[in-house]
Amino acid sequence: MAAAPAELPTFLQMDSSNKRHLPQHHRVNPIGNAPLDAPLTSSEVSHNETRTRRKEREAARKKNYHHRVKHEREALRQSVVDLANQLEELTRSDGPGSLGCTDLTWKKRAIQQRDQLCRAQAEQLQLLTATKAHAAYINKVCKQVSPLTSDSDTTTGDPRIDALLRGRNYPPFDLSMYRGHAQRVVESYARVDEVFKGFTVMEDGVRNSIKRRELDGQVELLEHLNKFTQPFSFEMTHKELWNLAKFRHRQLDRMDYEGLANAENTIVLRFRLIRQLSTGMLASVLQRYVIHRYKEENRVVIVWKAHSEGEDVFSGMHSDQSGWIYLQPGAQENSTEVGICIRQVPMQFSISTSGDDIIREFHRVLQSYVNEDVLLITTALDKISLENTLKGICL
C-alpha cells in the first residue's frame, strides 16, 4: 500500500493537542483518516443529543430496576428467615411441655368464669333482698291504711260510724244524672291532650294547687297532678290500673251498677265517705262516679266524672270532680309512664249556717280523699307488680 504524501499529515499522527484545536463541529473522514472541514447540520446535532438523553434514561431505568430487584430479593430472604423461625417455634411447642401450657390457659379461663358467676349470683341475691324489703314496706303501708281498704262488709267496727250509716239509704238512681256524667266524660276525653300538654316537660312527682276566684277569693278549683314511671310492662300496668280504678277500697254503702253498655270499659258506682273533723264531729260525703276507659295505639286513657254531695254538717255543699289518667310505654324498656290529673270544683247549692270554717273543712276532706285514693292505687299497683315479678325470681 502506498504511503500518504508527506505534506498531508495523517489523523493518526495528530497528537492530543492538535485534536483539541480542531474546529468545532468538524469530523474525521473514516476512509481517508482526514478531518472534514464541513460543519454538522442542526438536525444531526439534535439527533445526537436525543440519542444521548435516551442512553441516560435507559441507564437510569436499568439502575432502578436492579435496585428494585435487589430490594425484593432481600425482602424474600427476610421472609424465609421469619418463616423458618416460626416453624422452629411451632416445632418446639409440639414438645412434651405444650400440653401443660394449654391446661394452664384453660385453668385460668375457668377461674375467671367462676369468679364472674359468683359476682353475678351475689348481685342477684342483693337485688332479691332489696325487692323483698320493698315488698315488705308496701305491705306495711297497706296495713296502715287498712281501715280504708275493708271488704264489702259495711260494719266498720266504729260504733259512731255504724250508727251514722244505720238507716241511711241511697236516693233512687237518677238516670238523667248518669247520662249527664257520661256525656261530660266524652267531652273530657276530647280535652285529654290539652290537659296533659305540660306533662311532656314535667318531672316525676306530685303537685297540689288551689285556684281562687278574683272576685271573692273563694276556691274555684282544686288540682292534683301526679306523674311517675312504673318499672313494669305497659300491658300489665294498664290492665292492673283499670282493676284498681274500680275503687274496691271504698265499701261504705257501696253500690255498683251492672248491665251497662260497653261494660268492659265502663264503671258506674256510688259510695259514702266518712271523716272525723277537727272538731270531733263526723261528717259524710256521698260520691257518685262514672268512669270510662279508652284504648289507643300505645296509650290507654281513663277518664271519669264524680259528684260529691255533702251530708250532715256538710249539707248543702257539693263538688264536681274531673279526672284523667294516661298510661303509655316508658322511655326505658319494660317501663310505663303514668300521668294523673284530678280537678275538683266546689259548689254550694244552699247557704251554709256553719261559716267559712266548715267550707274550708269540706275542701280539705275532698283533697285528703283524692290524695288517699292516689296513694292507695299506686301502692297497690306497686304491690301487684312486685308480686308478679317475684314469682319469676328464685335463688
What is the SS3 assignment for 110-148?
HHHHHHHHHHHHHHHHHHHHHHHHHHHHHHHHHHHCHHH
pLDDT at 242: 93
Arithmetic mean of pLDDT, 39-66: 77
Question: Which sequence spans correspond to the domains of the chain?
Answer: 18-76, 125-390
CATH class (in words) of the domain with range 125-390 = alpha beta
More confident residue, 351 or 199: 199
pLDDT in tens, 346-376: 776 544 455 678 888 888 888 888 888 888 8
pLDDT at 101: 58
pLDDT band (50, 70, 90) for residue 296? very high
pLDDT in tens, 329-344: 998 888 999 999 999 8
pLDDT in tens, 97-129: 555 556 677 888 888 888 888 888 888 777 777
